[in-house]
Structure 1
């Protein structure tokens, strides 16, 4: 595994696994949460250590149980979760504290590696209050890093007006269908690490081109796509329920895309 150093010095695995459909009936986001989560067990066995979760996924407790019962030591795990931007969690500082405390309980840990605001909070006072609670838990060591998700330039600018702790990451959609180039440039300028959700999304013609590039490396097109992202400093959190695909998605560290092939991917 390779790591990226966040702006506060914390090292984050550059590849992780999403969990938004893990442990659910029919692998459906809205499906009923089951009592087992074999996809996560498989991911841990294959070497995934960065686990991307969220309160809104409804499976924090199940994910936390599997992590706690695994043979992987807590210090090797990088656990991310997210607080939804709705009244239940951001109506007051007390509500936000209760949400964080509950996530700590769900993950059976006394600290989280990364906590994000899941979506922009339009009310500026609520944004300020929520971030101040994040900073409070960060200063107490209960959060090793704090950040945001799905924030655009305007929301980042709002946060800058009062934040004492700069967001470590902004988790946004980054893929060939939605490259988000302008926002990526802003994040680089600000020293905020981009984390890509949905990194595998492609059009059919793009997938064919990626497969063709992969042949010379004896890799799949999906591996070329993920490698392209991590070579430019983007953290990726692919997700699969298939063990073979999970293995392929983390098998990225024995090859390097040439400058020519990087340009080919960028032109897709």
Structure 2
């Protein structure tokens, strides 16, 4: 596994597992929570130690259960969760504190490696107020790092101007057809680690054909080519799979490097 260094000095694995349909009936995002940890167990067996969940996913407890049952020390894992950018979570300091403490309890841990504001909302001062409360948890070492998700330049500029602790991460949509270069370049310039959610989603058949051709000399799949491209430009990736085999394939990207010509072709998709 490779790692990037957050502004806090902590290390983040460049690949994590998404979880937003894990532990739910019919593997449906809106399905009832059934507590099934099968996919999480496979991921841990495959070598994943970075897991990304959120309050809005409703399955923090499933992620916490799988990690607790793994027998692997907590400090070997990197756990990300997120507080919604909506009421009641963003309404006052007490609601923010309750959200963080509820996440800690559900995840069966006394600290969270990375805690994100899941979405911005149309109140920049309100965003800063939530952030100031999260900063207190960092000071207490309950949250090791804090960051944001789906933030654009305007929101990040305002937050950085008023924050004591700079955002460690901005997790954004990034995949072929929408690499989101502007957001990623902004993050890099400001020493914020960019993360890609849904890195293997919305890939057109045409893009898959090009990526498959690129992958053939490396003996890699189109998905592995995408993930490799992202980490080569210092983007953390959060793929998700309900297949034990594909989970393993998504981790198997550290034994090759894309040549400049291939990177250019991928960038133009």
Superposed, which structure 2 residues align to 1:180-259 within 5 Å? Answer: 180-201=180-201, 202-259=203-260
SS in 2 for 1:9: coil
Give the conservation status (yes or no) of the 8 Å contact 2:104–2:110.
yes
1:154-173 to structure 2, matched below 5 A, reads 154-173=154-173
Give distance in 2, aligned partners of 1:258 and 1:109: 42
Task: Give the Cα–Cα distance (whole angstroms) in 1 for the partners of residues 15 and 86 of structure 2.
Answer: 29
Q: Work out the CA distance in 1 between the residues paired with 2:31 and 2:3.
A: 33
Query: Mean alpha-carbon deviation: is it higher for 23-32 or for 76-85?
Result: 23-32
Alignment RMSD, CA only? 0.9
Inter-partner Cα distance in structure 2 for 1:266 and 1:129:
37
Q: CA deviation at 1:124?
A: 2.7
TM-score, normalised via structure 1 length: 0.98
In 1, are the aligned partners of 2:22 and 2:36 still within 8 Å (CA)?
Answer: no
User: How far did residue 161 of structure 1 move?
Assistant: 2.6
What do the CA deviations read for 1:139-197 (whole angstroms, capped 9, x no partner)? 11011110000000011012123100000000000111211111212111111110000
**Could you tell me which residue of structure 1 aligns to residue 133 of structure 2?**
133
**SS at 1:116 equivalent:** strand
Q: How does 1:1-268 map to 2 (within 5 A)?
A: 1-201=1-201, 202-268=203-269
SS in 2 for 1:88: coil
Deviation of 1:48 after TM superposition, in Å, equals 0.3
The structural deviation recorded for 1:69 is 1.3
Contact 2:124/2:155, CA 8 A, preserved across alignment: no
- Please report how far the alpha carbon of residue 198 of structure 1 lies from its aligned counterpart in structure 2 after TM superposition: 0.9
- The total of aligned residue pairs comes to 268
Cα distance, 1:97 vs. partner?
A: 0.3
SS in structure 1 at match of 2:89: helix
Match of 1:240, SS state, is coil
Distance 1:124 1:7 in 2: 22
How many Å separate the matches in 1 of 2:160 and 2:168?
13
Q: Which runs of 5+ in 1 are unaligned?
A: none
The superposition leaves residues 209-239 of structure 1 with CA deviations (integer Å, 9 ceiling, x where unpaired) of 1011111011111101100000110000000
Measure, in 2, the Cα distance between the counterparts of 1:264 and 1:123. 39
- The list of structure 1 runs, each at least 4 consecutive aligned residues, that deviate by more than 3 angstroms after superposition, is none
SS across alignment from 1:115: strand
